[in-house]
Chains A and B, each alone.
Chain A
Amino acid sequence: MSDRNRLVELFTEKAQLTSAIVARVKTLDEALAYTVDVCEKKEACQILMSGCESELSDKAGELCDGKPGKVIVAPALPKADFARLRDMCQAHGIHCLSGGMRKHLGGVDVGFTIAQGGFVETGSLVLDSDSEELRLATMLCEVHVCMLPVSTLREKSYDVAEQTSALASDGPSYVAYVTGASRTADIERVLAIGVHGPLEMHILLLED
């Protein structure tokens, strides 16, 4: 097996252990189509509930009322790529945003991002999070779809030390290692997914 394939297989195994869903794509457009598809299926199945159906205090409930229907947010996409995603969304009646997350604190359906790297040993993504919109989008979305170019995949956390150091140097910066969905075990140590952030994490391995 080539080293590249070995890394991909190990990464997939480790990421799945964190309950992430891993798929492989050949192009960015395939990833975008996947994202639209996830968003579309999401409502059909109603598997995800972020709490707005719960009995809430009046003030907390207000934040739930503002959502305009289905929303995909893709904060850090180049303009041309974003335009293609927006067109795909329109065809499916989905709102597509590149920012403005502070107006959507109640939540959005899907967030799409592209990782700068990843490491296999824990199935983790390295995500340049300098952009506030990206930070918010990846927390406010119920499903986070992240595309990871296979060429950036490394074996151990130590192997992204230099990359982390470079991203964190030269001025203000925000770098994140993201592994799986947001989770907690704070009540009776029972694992519950999606306490503050995404309830689902999809990783699309781009065969670049």
Chain B
Amino acid sequence: MQNAHDLKEYRGELSGALHNDFLREALDRFAVAYRTSRSNAFSGMDVDGLIKEIADGKDAAMARLDELLAEFTRKAEAAGAVVHVARDAEEANAIIADIAQKAGVKRVIKSKSMTAEEIHLNPYLEARGLEVTETDLGEWIIQLRHEGPTHMVMPAIHLSRYQVADLFTDVTGAKQEVDIEKLVKVARRELRRKFAEADMGISGGNFAVAETGSIVVCTNEGNARLVTTLPRVHVALVGLDKLTATVRDALTVLRALPKNATGQAITSYVSWITGATECQTAPGGKKEMHVVFLDNGRRKLAKDPLFSQVLRCIRCGACANVCPVYRLVGGHQLGHIYIGAIGLILTYFYHGKDKAKNLVQNCINCGACKAVCAGGIDLPRLIKEIHARIQDEEGHPLQSALLGRVLKSRKLFHTLLRTAKSVQKPITGGTPFLRHLPMIFAKGQEFRALPAIAETPFRDRFASIKPKVANPRLRVALFSGCVQDFVYPEQAEAAVKLLGKHDIDVTFPMEQSCCGLPVQMMGEREASRSVAAQNVNAFAPDSCDYILTLCASCASHLKHGYPEILADDPVMAARARTFAEKIIDFSSFAHDVLKVAPGEFTADGKRTTYHAPCHLCRGLGVTKAPRELISTCGLDYVPCEEEDVCCGFGGTYSMKFPELSAELLKKKLANVEKTGAELLLTDCPGCIMQLRGGFEAKGGRGVRVIHVAEALAERLK
């Protein structure tokens, strides 16, 4: 639940969650176990193909939402159901309360429904004198605790067996042992009584199948089977996004849903309920069956060219399962009602920008969610888009507006960097780190040492190091990104050295500037567009075979971000696409294009591990090349645990949420240290800044952090 008024208050809540040891351990265990069980569950299956099929099916269904609704209504009503469509939460609540009143209902039992959580159905019904009991074990537990869920499929994942035992002791009035098996049995008996007494059952629905007019409900506990059987009235509350054309389409989603949710092959029960089924205690022996469809903004979403993909969500919760931020703070902090990456987005559409404004800033943009989403939703992009929208509506914070303005002018930006360099001496103490940062910049940043600005930026060095190649094999234009230009020019230099050896003609267009990802991350759309256009114009794509960049974040932003950002610009759209096609990251270039071989290097067999930058392994799908390069250049590669989990940098994220960034870094460094490696290689100067700074802050011992390009260049014969 989001109740924080501003970012400061929200940060306070995050800090509280960070100190909840049980939560941290529970989510850590789950994050690690989930990865294995998901991959086992999908083993031997074409997962990408399945995701595509789900995405296409959902898109097609939402494009003819009204047609499917009409077909569903016809079929369901022919089978004796009554179909309602509620415009918003208030109307849905009113419809359900009205059904209850007309049927003389006193007691309601429910099976788990996120849609009911969305509209706050329980308090609405309770305020009208109805007794409402959740029957999914996790939902019942949080209902008894007056809390919201912290996970979409495991709502009580934040609670320990001790807390549940205490709670059940209160509920039964009898002392309960701390034994999960026994606690589950107590719930079985206590809830059985509620089932026996209820006159109305409310379920959600995983699908509303138009072909048959069926509501499909998936549960493991089987509670929905009782909820939809024992009481004389059944109300199924479903979002319009659950409309599905055919049984076959539902089965396609079902192939992914439980596997993606918890790594389970299928839920124990999948119930297909059509119309007014047999019910011996109802008048005429037929159940009173209602289907209440909830719109609450879904119809409008379905027509939105960018955001309609949100409706592909199958509510599996996988985006939370893999989110490094969720893993630190849990669902109460990383969501309002809906949780995880999709929660940040849905909160804006279903619960308003006030609940969403802090949340949407808490995405580190690592892309882990996008990589597992069963509907192939571009979650990180949509989160950024909403952040930008809210900022456009509410006004831009000073910091972000300033950064936007500075970045829009390359000259101003670079002059500032050069000025900073000339005055940083007292701060660096002659070291490559900023030692004595003024308090205003240093707050919360003690977990890592920030680097100093380099003596001479790469752009000023380039003329003197440009390889002289008589008959070039290829022409490469270098995009350095600001960090390698002004902080770590030696990394770009290392690449140039290797390229020269391979007879590659290298150019460095001087009009290039920051790639714009920082302003995109901060919701400064206007600045982001302007910087993108400047960079595209700085390169003449026809005069080079590749545009090479050593920064994974720049690379993925240039390749995937630019064509999207400039898509609406009639002049720039095509140029941006050509530009994007030429972009290649360093490891792919060295491995796939140069095809470097062991013979070029002097091997020294140093124990070496690797950190996979988010924007390389997921952003660009490059995983093999860098690891093979480590071996090719004669190093001894030792894999590191959770190699592809974010280091916590996230650009401006680490300035905004330093406490979370520090925790992610701590975990990363611990995993690296466990390998016993003396070298840590990676493909992104941002990650290097974070990782090197982290080791430095710990006392500068141990592991040397360098770019893959440097490791290669250092060993060139």
Please give the residue numbers on chain A whose beta carbons come within 8 Å of chain B beta carbons, in ascending order: 14, 17-18, 49-52, 54-57, 59-64, 102, 105-107, 121-124, 129-132, 135-136, 138-139, 157-158, 161, 164-165, 167-169, 171-190, 192, 194-198
Contacts and interface: CB of A to CB of B under 8 A. Distances in A.
A105 B221 contact: no
Given A63-B189, A187-B164, A177 B266 contact: yes
A194 B222 CA distance: 9
B270 A55 contact: no
Contacts of A56: 172, 174, 186, 189-190
B173 interface: yes
Interface of B: 26, 29-30, 33, 75, 78-80, 135-138, 141, 154-157, 159-161, 164, 171-176, 180-193, 195-196, 209, 211-212, 214, 220-223, 225-226, 228-230, 246-248, 251, 254-255, 262, 265-281, 286-287, 289
B189 A54 contact: yes
8 contacts: A17-B265, A129-B225, A172-B276, A173-B273, A182-B269, A186-B141, A188-B26, A194-B184
A189 to B, nearest CB: 6
Given A51-B189, A194-B188, A171 B275 contact: yes
A138 B262 CA distance: 25
A139 B157 contact: no
B80 to A, nearest CB: 6
B247 A172 contact: no
Nearest to A57: B172
B193 to A, nearest CB: 5
A157 B269 contact: no
A50 B80 contact: no
Contact of A158 (B189, B251, B273, B278): B251
Given A63-B189, A158-B251, A165-B247, A173 B272 contact: yes
A190 B272 contact: no
Contacts of B195: 105
Given A157-B255, A186-B154, A196-B222, A55 B268 contact: no
B280 A183 contact: no
B248 A184 contact: no
Contacts of A169: 75, 212, 274
B220 A184 contact: yes
B277 A130 contact: yes
Contact of B269 (A17, A167, A177): A177
B274 A187 contact: no
A127 B33 CA distance: 32
Given A14-B265, A158-B251, A182 B272 contact: no
A195 B188 contact: yes
Given A169-B212, A196-B135, A52 B269 contact: no
B274 A173 contact: yes
B229 A135 contact: yes
Contact of A175 (B141, B196, B271): B271
**Nearest 9 Cβ contacts at the A-B interface:** A51-B185, A55-B174, A197-B222, A186-B138, A172-B275, A177-B270, A51-B189, A122-B266, A182-B222
B277 A173 contact: yes
Given A55-B172, A187-B156, A195 B187 contact: yes
Contacts of A184: 137-138, 184, 220-221
Contacts of A195: 137, 184, 187-188, 221-223
B38 to A, nearest CB: 14
Contacts of B221: 182-184, 195-197
Contacts of B246: 161, 165
B272 A176 contact: yes
A35 to B, nearest CB: 20
Contact of B188 (A18, A50, A62): A50
Nearest to B285: A132
